[in-house]
Structure 1
Amino acid sequence: MSIACLPSELWHRVIRHLTIMEDTCSLAMVSKYFYKLVEMDFKRECRNHVVYRLKGETWAYAFSNLGSRSYNTIIAKIEFYRDNAICCPFTGKIALALNDAYVLLTNIDFGLSEFTILDFSSYTNKVTRVNMINRGTELLVHSVTFVLVYDLVWMQTGKGSVICAWTHDLSVFVINDNDSVVVTGYRFGILIYSMKKRRIVFCNPNDDGRVRFKTFNAEMKRHLTYQDSWVEARNDNYPIWKLSRMKFTVLGSLKEIVNYSFGHRLSRNATAIGRFDENSGDTLVAGTSSNKVILQNSEAIFHVNEPITWIDVLHQPSKQYGFVSDLVIVGTEKSLIVFDVYNNKTMFHRDMPEGITCIKIGHLDEHKENVIVCGCGSTIWGIDFQGEDVFWTALGDDVNSIDLCDIDYDGMNELIVGSNGTEIKVLKQQSLLKDLIEGDPCVMIKTMGEGTFAFGLNSGVIGVYRKWERLWRIKTKHKIANLLIFPTVAGDDKPYLCCVWQNGKIDVRDTENGENYLKTQLDGEVSGSVVQRRDNQMDQLLVTYFNGRVRGVELNPDYDEAEDEIEVLHEYGQRKHNLMEELKNYEAAESGDRNQIGIPLNTQMDCVLELTEERGLLLHVHVTNDIPIKAILLFAEGIFHSECFSIHANEETSDMFTIIKPVKNTATDILMRVIIGAQGSTQLRVLEFDQSLPKFSTYVYMEKGAPAPEGYVDLEFSLRLDLLNRWLATHFLINEGMVLGMNDEQNWKVSFRCCYSKEVLQIEVIEGRLFVRHNFIEVVGEVVQSIVQSMEVKQMSSRAFFPKYQEQLVELIASMEDRYTTNDKLMAEWTERLNFIRETVVRAEDALVTDQTSKARKLYVRVAMLNRECVAQRQILMASVESLVTSLKKLNLLIKQNSQLKIGEDAHELVKECRKLLAAENFAALGKRLQVSGN
């Protein structure tokens, strides 16, 4: 019997008898099979023991050299290492306090080449100690005068970053490594700084003696985190501060408590809740498919002449005397309407030519008052409560969902936009701040707290971002209907993400990791959902259906042990079935068909990206020992039309090729699962492999050069060839050795050709200036933004020349001027004809009153003819308006492409000025501002 046929149980016994760590590491380095049997996370062990790894080594090999690889061995004084350095166990980052006010930031993975010096001399003359907190994203810097929080993501201190000024005999503790910082001291008391809220959340000075705190739970063997629930408990002569309740964990079930019907078919996203009567509580309001607004338990019906696309409620602040009703905000395919239900009047009515797809109410940027933010086609409008414009901006894609979130912690909300494109857009001051690439259109955005928001894609993917970092991402088979914060439990300030799916499925997940706590199924096609907050009672989740049915659920905290036992038994039954199937395979290998061919232990898989101008970008997968490949599953974002792409061979072969044609220039990782099996064998093996795809992976390097394209941009900034070479090697499929040899600034020039569009991209350095040449401005913009982000360029001047762009801009502006003139003329004619119809109707009614029946008949015939003409002219007008809207989309896309050639404030100012000129219909000045004629 070969060792490959030994059951894993026997190997586990062998491994348990290994007493020397070097033997365990050596066994783990034999193959992936033995690596899994060892059941050790060597990467985590290296981080816990601060063992560094060199480039090209495995973590198991690095840990096997623990005695000589410990990070403190490269520092002369061990006391200096213990007192001045810290290693993050989550990321492997190391912060080392050097002499005076400098901190060295590096990583135990030396292959990453991360070495950064942080200068704190502007804050203090001496850094005494450092702590790595918030999973390696922030640094706690101790000095003789204060304790400072430094953001390692943005490399800056944020607002409210100073925890406290230093006084005598202070002690600082980091609790749970990512939540709270506790400061105590004699005659000082206790101070708690929350890393989540980024402010001091608890302060109790005590001048009589030392205040003690209790944050360790002996039963759970871990520290507790601060949850706004500290109480004082006296113990003899000194107080002890401790948590009033344990950290809340969602247990229980969702029980149905509401079930009734409106009696009307409802529209999608047309459900909200508010208070419209002083004698009643919260009332559900919904929009019907027959263009009506209806209220729960009310006979009041408000008719709207257009299809309803969205309903929201504006909660007005209550006055000292008298009741103030909430306002109903209705979005339709052509307008925005605000109703005062209590007083039965329309507050204002705004025409919105593109129609409304989503509405959000809240504070945005520096605006102190609430703003009604409307997503209308490819534009976003900000409107105050008098119906006046606050701001207007446009995107290149249609808007699906919007929400407000202070994602950069500056005290002002940014606008998070989910669109039909592949990115989630973050806007600040109506300008694009950042694109978060997800690969599929985003249909739902929900703010979960400060700096945190959840998203849902039309492919069934949901996830959560916090400060540009994606916490988690889960793929499902269902279509998302809504994302909500539910339930909210007293004593726990942690928000839970409630996902309502279109098929009626509801689940509650942890915002931090996506763990599914609760789930239930309310069968039916969901049209909308809303959470009803109730004082001193459990929140209710109300779900509406297209057939008019309304069902509500709330959290049942009584844990059903019997139901839990059934789920546990089902889980163990499934495990038993899997183990029995595995046992059958072992028995068949030992006593079954000896002639059956297995897969040799030394079988390996190679994966190579091959880029040629003729064949394009190919992914070549090869398995050694002539083992046939049954199928390959590829998982990637933004490359395939779906998240998974499968390849099946018509004939058994150990080599498989597939063409990769990215939708756009984006860097991503391809996760491959290769299913292999020997000929005639019924057992298959799954091999996994990760392949990184550079941003410009479809551009083939032209060794002999190529004719220079006509369009170009000339960039002037502080240029460093080593950084430019590094950017080139990491963003293109090019030989690194060839790039490293390009050190001559006088002859630095590279040419590429896209293997699909056949367009040439040329990058050249001339007299210290960088020239990027391509015929399409959008490609040049992507290259420029990639370079400045990689090289961290802060200031740059640019000069561009793109004839095709300039020609398209001139034609578009000329056509828009004609369309505005035509629309004004059509609108004037339509208004004149409408007034003539009204006059004719009045004359016809007068004729009826005076018994002139014959005259009245002629006048009504004329009214019918005029009405048909008016309807036809209105259709022409609306077609012209739609054509103008399409031109506006194209123009905003040109503005965005032009702004990509600039950075920072220059780009923001360009966008702001162009939109002001566009709103003022000053097309002559707009054309000059967007000119790219090389001057």
Structure 2
Amino acid sequence: MLLPVFTLKLRHKISPRMVAIGRYDGTHPCLAAATQAGKVFIHNPHTRSQHFSASRVYQSPLESDVSLLNINQAVSCLTAGVLNPALGCDALLVGTQTNLLAYDVYNNSDFFYREVADGANAIVLGTLGDISSPLAIIGGNCALQGFDHEGKDLFWTVTGDNVHSLALCDFDGDGKKELLVGSEDFDIRVFKEDEIVAEMTETEIITSLCPVYGSRFGYALANGTVGVYDKTARYWRIKAEWSSPLNEADGQWGIIPANTKLHTALSVNLGSETRAAHTELCISTSNDTIIRAVMIFAEGIFLGESHVVHPSIHSLSSSICIPITPPKDVPVDLHLKTFVGYRSSTQFHVFELTRQLPRFSMYALTSPDSASQPLGYVNFTIAERAQRVFVWLNQNFLLPEDTDIQNAPFQVCFTSLRNGSQLYIKVKLSGEITVKTDDIELAGDIIQSVASFFAIEDLQVEADFPVYFEELRKVLVKVDEYHSVHQKLSADMADNSNLIRSLLVRAEDARLMRDMKTMKNRYMELYDLNKDLLNGYKIRCNNHTELLGNLKAVNQAIQRAGHLRVGKPKNQVITACRDAIRSNNINTLFRIMRVGTTSS
């Protein structure tokens, strides 16, 4: 029989997923949770008479076992664990959108307090790869940072979007932990230290990740889906799914010819005045039977992941075409259930089949237009014949059936069905491939697709995206401006804080001397100064919001520059870009993004 050790009535609103249990004295487990009032609630029933002398912590007046840690900002993530093994006790880690606090609860003191420009949306504590000391790893504005017990930044890299969840797991079974990262772009990325070794695309924002055992880990999505992966393979998932209202036809009216077959075809539809361009799935029967309804289950394409097409009784035929518009360039499995019968049928035969939508299905093969050729390009060489490159094209794009390319050199041109932009792919006899597009993200996706298809482990490229790089240059200028404003506002606030202390002392002196006129004047000055501080705080908040937006763009640019390479060159580019940012060497940054190295 289970007996409660203690009972606690919560008098605070606790933020979701921000609860941790730690042994802050090395022995007894204590509960810590972030409240919605910018404080951390710490429940410790084991040392009731502990004295809290630090300015951050005060005893709750209503609960003798509870102390409150003042953060004075909205807490965005929280965890507890061993940060310094030599101490034999756990640390409490608290993240906000501007800072990370590592706190020694037992001694009421800071292990460290660091400003984090990219914010902290998620946090995990543990060992990563070959880094010997435990790290407090935070995920924020497209960036990942890891700090040791002294607050030293031992790990940093970028990821594709804002981070929402983190976990440490021995993903590849080598006895060392890899970092699992779930982000707003629906991707789960696996980092072996600063190298991405696997990516899995889900259908919603990944809100939680949790190691299970071995290479298995659990995940949860914003739409309520939960499941388990074993390495890159989804082991299972749970979500409310549709089911067929009818089973196999078993009556007189449901009988169809035994040789009835179902044919499917995927093609590109360039649209019309009334309908946007899209990919089209056409389904037809092999005889005069009609299609009464089609159910499609496909992750990330339809709202709710399923789509039902039910033609009116007057438009029933043996074929049906369904428009499909995938929002992202990822391969998608279309699971189909097609109801086939006759016009007079009351029951229908259900055909079930799966068809894969190619990764770049939203690009139509078109004639080259030299007037609208993209300025951006990426150039690389692989040891493959032209025919093999054509096989890759055929598997990843929807090419017309009569397309036949046997020999190099050749060039193909595609038009995006989403925005009408151009994509050129040129293959030379030497194996040199040039991809021309102004979309750096699309170029990176093509590089990764080619590398995966041909099992390329390391690939260096030469690239230039003038339009994108010019926008990035403007963003970097803004980042410098916002940093300057931030420093000036911080200095002004520090000066005003000193002035407040001085005015308070002078006002109190006047009160003790019964000089009411002077006291009133000093408090009026304090009132005016407080208004100035509030206005300055609003300006600082707006400045910080703009700064975060621009830092996100910079981090994404570094991630995209890395995404143009594969293996070691990818990691080298990300590291070199970060060093260039740290030294404020913008010209070097763009050289690295173009050629992959700092050398000329």
Tell me the distance in 1 between the aligned counterparts of 2:560 and 2:533.
Answer: 41
Cα deviation, residue 838, structure 1: 2.2
Distance 1:317 1:864, change over 3 A: closer
For residue 618 of structure 1, what is the amino acid of its counterpart? E
Query: Are residues 1:631 and 2:378 paired?
Result: no
Partner of 2:99: 335
Tell me the distance in 2 between the aligned counterparts of 1:859 and 1:357.
Answer: 42
Query: Are residues 1:447 and 2:211 paired?
Result: yes
Cα deviation, residue 295, structure 1: 0.7
| Aligned with 1:302 (options 51, 54, 68) | 68
SS at match of 2:268: strand
Contact 2:84–2:149 at 8 Å: present in 1 too?
Answer: no
SS at match of 1:884: helix
| Aligned with 2:343 (options 676, 679, 685) | 679
Query: Are residues 1:836 and 2:499 paired?
Result: yes
Tell me the distance in 1 between the aligned counterparts of 2:567 and 2:247.
Answer: 59
Cα deviation, residue 873, structure 1: 0.9
Distance 1:698 1:344, change over 3 A: closer
Partner of 1:5: none
Partner of 1:919: 582
Query: Are residues 1:887 and 2:544 paired?
Result: no
For residue 664 of structure 1, what is the amino acid of its counterpart? K
Partner of 2:447: 784
Partner of 2:381: 716
Report Cα offsets for 1:389-412 as digits up to 9, x if no partner: 333333331111101123234443
Contact 1:396–1:889 at 8 Å: present in 2 too?
Answer: no
For residue 16 of structure 2, what is the amino acid of its counterpart? R
Tell me the distance in 2 between the aligned counterparts of 1:348 and 1:886.
Answer: 26
Partner of 2:353: 689
Contact 1:288–1:294 at 8 Å: present in 2 too?
Answer: no
Tell me the distance in 2 between the aligned counterparts of 1:256 and 1:656.
Answer: 61
Please list, as runs of the form range in 1=range in 2, the aligned pairs for 1:572-587 lying within 5 A after superposition. none
Contact 1:269–1:309 at 8 Å: present in 2 too?
Answer: no
The alignment's C-alpha RMSD in Å is 3.1
Cα deviation, residue 349, structure 1: 3.3
Partner of 1:286: 33
Which structure ranks higher in relative contact order (CA pairs < 8 Å, sequence separation ≥ 6)?
2
Cα deviation, residue 854, structure 1: 1.3
Distance 1:709 1:339, change over 3 A: closer
Q: When the two structures are superposed, what TM-score results if normalisation uses the length of structure 1?
A: 0.56
Distance 1:644 1:913, change over 3 A: same
| Aligned with 1:701 (options 359, 365, 380) | 365
Tell me the distance in 2 between the aligned counterparts of 1:358 and 1:636.
Answer: 29
Structure 2, unmatched stretches of 5+, are 46-63, 272-276
Cα deviation, residue 433, structure 1: 3.1
Partner of 1:419: 183
For residue 269 of structure 1, what is the amino acid of its counterpart? R
Cα deviation, residue 735, structure 1: 4.5
Contact 1:626–1:653 at 8 Å: present in 2 too?
Answer: no
Query: Are residues 1:857 and 2:514 paired?
Result: no
Distance 1:711 1:394, change over 3 A: closer
Contact 1:316–1:324 at 8 Å: present in 2 too?
Answer: no
| Aligned with 1:611 (options 252, 263, 268) | 268
Cα deviation, residue 680, structure 1: 4.2
Tell me the distance in 1 between the aligned counterparts of 2:595 and 2:477.
Answer: 17
Tell me the distance in 1 between the aligned counterparts of 2:556 and 2:119.
Answer: 20
For residue 42 of structure 2, what is the amino acid of its counterpart? I
Partner of 2:133: 369
| Aligned with 2:396 (options 731, 750, 768) | 731
Distance 1:345 1:813, change over 3 A: closer
Tell me the distance in 1 between the aligned counterparts of 2:538 and 2:15.
Answer: 25
Contact 1:597–1:679 at 8 Å: present in 2 too?
Answer: no
SS at match of 1:370: strand
Distance 1:429 1:865, change over 3 A: same
Partner of 2:425: 763
Partner of 1:601: 258
Tell me the distance in 2 between the aligned counterparts of 1:840 and 1:777.
Answer: 56
Contact 2:102–2:111 at 8 Å: present in 1 too?
Answer: yes
Contact 2:358–2:397 at 8 Å: present in 1 too?
Answer: yes
Contact 2:211–2:218 at 8 Å: present in 1 too?
Answer: yes
Cα deviation, residue 600, structure 1: 3.7
Cα deviation, residue 859, structure 1: 0.9
SS at match of 2:304: coil
Contact 2:141–2:548 at 8 Å: present in 1 too?
Answer: no
Structure 1, unmatched stretches of 5+, are 1-254, 478-577
Partner of 2:150: 386
Partner of 1:82: none
| Aligned with 2:78 (options 300, 308, 311) | 311
Partner of 1:185: none
Tell me the distance in 1 between the aligned counterparts of 2:549 and 2:83.
Answer: 37
For residue 41 of structure 2, what is the amino acid of its counterpart? V
Percent identical residues: 28
Report Cα offsets for 1:871-901 as digits up to 9, x if no partner: 2112212211221111111112222222233
> Which deviates further from its counterpart, 666-675 or 422-431?
422-431
Q: When the two structures are superposed, what TM-score results if normalisation uses the length of structure 2?
A: 0.85
Query: Are residues 1:475 and 2:239 paired?
Result: yes
Report Cα offsets for 1:516-559 as digits up to 9, x if no partner: xxxxxxxxxxxxxxxxxxxxxxxxxxxxxxxxxxxxxxxxxxxx
Distance 1:275 1:713, change over 3 A: closer
Partner of 1:744: 407
Distance 1:890 1:932, change over 3 A: farther
Cα deviation, residue 432, structure 1: 3.0
Report Cα offsets for 1:458-486 as digits up to 9, x if no partner: 22333333333333333348xxxxxxxxx
Please list, as runs of the form range in 1=range in 2, the aligned pairs for 1:227-246 lying within 5 A after superposition. none
Cα deviation, residue 425, structure 1: 1.1
Please list, as runs of the form range in 1=range in 2, the aligned pairs for 1:344-359 lying within 5 A after superposition. 344-352=108-116, 355-359=119-123
Tell me the distance in 2 between the aligned counterparts of 1:267 and 1:813.
Answer: 35
Cα deviation, residue 650, structure 1: 3.2
Distance 1:798 1:356, change over 3 A: closer
Cα deviation, residue 862, structure 1: 0.6
- 4+ residue segments displaced more than 6 Å: 316-319
Cα deviation, residue 911, structure 1: 0.4
Report Cα offsets for 1:9-63 as digits up to 9, x if no partner: xxxxxxxxxxxxxxxxxxxxxxxxxxxxxxxxxxxxxxxxxxxxxxxxxxxxxxx
